[in-house]
Every structure is written in structure tokens, then in C-alpha cells.
Amino acid sequence: MARIIGGIGTTHVPAIGKAIAEGLQNDHYWKPFFSGFDYVHKWLAREKPDVAVVFSNDHGLNFFLDKLPTFAVGAANEYRNEDEGWGIPVVQAAKGDAPLSWHLIEGLVNDGFDITMCQEMLVDHAVTIPLNLMWPSGDWPPIIPVSINTVQHPLPSMARCLELGRSVGRALATYPQDIKVLVIGTGGLSHQLDGERAGFINKEFDELCLDKIVNDPEALTRYSIHNWVELAGAQGVEFLNWMAMRGALTGQVTQVHRNYHIPISNTAAATIVLENAGTAARHAA
């Protein structure tokens, strides 16, 4: 049986890719952010996930405003990266796990999520930056990319993304292979890249989100997308990816690590590690 070992939420700002390429991790500006991954590296070395489900949003590399699925799931054995124009290096392709993708797709469709299935999919900085942050050696596990529309309104709600994650969690629980699965949510926290409020950050609201996502994610579903844009900025809605990650953690959830740092580029950068104790383990305890 597949076992969900935990979830990681992290920012995906492209400038991080440039800092990695130039080896700036210990510079004054970058250290408070990169040092937040020391714990993550130790945790991953101990937990050794076999595969990662990555909830993120595409920024125009796959889908543009003309055609933008609300939810899209990759079903390939490889996902290439391409130049998005940020001036960061194109990185290696991520491996996929098509049989597990199809299992998740079956589960999602049976649960009423009419997702788009992608047997070809590129991955942008919202996937590659988090993978490089978590596994700097480049030894990434195979991934299942799940793309959530955070760009073209109307967006799905916080509640819907939490349910999407729960559906993925239920499907994983019935996957017959004995594998350890990590779920990842990327983007956020508060940021706005354009318009009059460019540079907007809301530390108080970010801290509320980081507190609630651990044990009371339902509390965050009372905010409409409109509220969220007001409180967290136009791109702060990338927290939808974090909600899906949290939804997939179906067991007893404990926060084991958190780092919050302002700013990285225009963004309030956050990293969180949540452990998920499975039902069987809880019964045995």
C-alpha cells in the first residue's frame, strides 16, 4: 500500500534558480532562506520518499490564457523543463510514474474532478525550483505533477483545492504498491507582481495561513478568492497549491519544521514540513 509520509510547502520564486546557479546560498541576502532547507534535507534523507506528487501552477509554459485547465494531471514518464524567459538555466527533466498518475486520475474522476489528463507536460519554475531546493544533488524522485489554475479567473476555491488533495490522498491509500509518497505544494505566500500593489506582502495573514494549514485548513476555506487577493496579493492565491497538498495528508498531521522570510524577490518566502502519521500507525499507538 502506498503510504503518504508527509507534505512540504515551499515558495517557487525564479530568482532562487539564479541564486542556485551562481552558488549564492550563503550570501547575506539568501542565507536566511536557504538555511531553512537544512532541516528539509535531513528529513528527506531519513524519510526517503519514492515518489512526489507536486501541486503547483503553470505560469504560461504549458497553458496560456487561451486554454487553461482548472486542474491538470501529468501522466507521463518524463517532464521536461524549458526556458520561460526568467534568465535562469533550463534544468534536467523530472522523471514521472505514469502508472501511479493513471491511478490518481481514476480516483479523481470517480470523485467528480473532471481533470485534464496530460500525457505530455512541461514543468516550469514552480516545479523545478522546489525540486532543486529539496534535492540539491539533482537526485529527484519521480513526480506526479498536478497543475492548478491560479492565473485565469475564475479560480477554483480554497475548499475545492482542499477536496482535490483529499481525493488524491484517498486514491494513494488504495494504490497497491508499497511506496512512500511525499506531497508538495508550491508558491505563495503573500505576493503581488504587478499593478499598483506590486510588492504587497501581508506577514500577519501569512502567519495565520501557516498556523491554520497544520491542523485547521477548513478555517481557510471561508475566504473567497476575492478576499484572498485582497489579503495576500494577486499571486498570493498560489496558496491553493498548499491547500491541495494539505488535503492529501489524510492521517495525523504534525508540523516538524517552518521557515518564514521576507522578502525573496517580491515574495514572502515560506517553507513548511508536515508529517503525516498513517491510520494504521495511529491505531497501533
Q: Which residues are catalytic?
A: 125, 191
* Stretch 20-39 residues interacting with ligand DHB (CB under 6 A): none
Helical pair 225-232 and 203-215, crossing angle rounded to 10 deg:
130
Q: How far is the CB of 222 from ligand DHB (least distance, A)?
A: 24
Pair type for strands 267-277 and 3-10: antiparallel
d(CA 265, CA 243): 23
Stretch that binds Fe ion, among 37-45, 66-74, 182-190, 215-223 (CB under 5 A): 182-190
DSSP letter for 220, please: G
Q: Is 12 in the site for ligand DHB (CB under 6 A)?
A: yes
Stretch that binds ligand DHB, among 11-19, 115-123, 176-184, 195-203 (CB under 6 A): 11-19
Exactly one of 9, 14, 17, 69 binds ligand DHB (CB under 6 A); which one? 14
Please say which residue, 101 or 241, places its beta carbon nearer to ligand DHB: 241
Angle at alpha carbon of residue 167, lines to 162 and 169, rounded to 5°: 95
Please say which residue, 85 or 99, places its beta carbon nearer to ligand DHB: 85
Pair type for strands 51-56 and 143-148: parallel
Q: Is 81 in the site for ligand DHB (CB under 6 A)?
A: no
d(CA 203, CA 36): 17
For cell 528539509, the residue is 40
Note whether 24 and 200 are within 8 A (CB): no
Q: Is 261 in the site for ligand DHB (CB under 6 A)?
A: no
Q: Taking CB under 6 A as the rule, which mask of x and - marks residues 99-118 in contact with ligand DHB?
A: --------------------
Number of residues that bind Fe ion (CB under 5 A): 1
How far, CA to CA in Å, does 93 sit from each of 20, 71, 127, 276? 17, 22, 11, 28
How far, CA to CA in Å, does 196 sit from each of 104, 200, 227? 41, 9, 17
> What 3-state DSSP class applies to 225?
helix
Which amino acid would we find at residue 239? F
d(CA 189, CA 65): 23
Q: How far is the CB of 235 from ligand DHB (least distance, A)?
A: 5
Please say which residue, 116 or 265, places its beta carbon nearer to ligand DHB: 265
Please say which residue, 12 or 261, places its beta carbon nearer to ligand DHB: 12
* Stretch 136-195 residues interacting with ligand DHB (CB under 6 A): 187, 191, 193
Stretch that binds Fe ion, among 86-94, 184-192, 252-260, 272-280 (CB under 5 A): 184-192
Answer with the entry of Fe ion, ligand DHB, none that 191 interacts with (C-beta below 5 to 8 A by kind): ligand DHB
- DSSP states of 174-209 as a string? T--S--EEEEEEE--SSB--SSTTTT---HHHHHHH
Q: How far is the CB of 83 from ligand DHB (least distance, A)?
A: 15
The binding site for Fe ion (CB under 5 A) comprises: 187
The binding site for ligand DHB (CB under 6 A) comprises: 12-15, 59, 187, 191, 193, 235, 238, 265-267
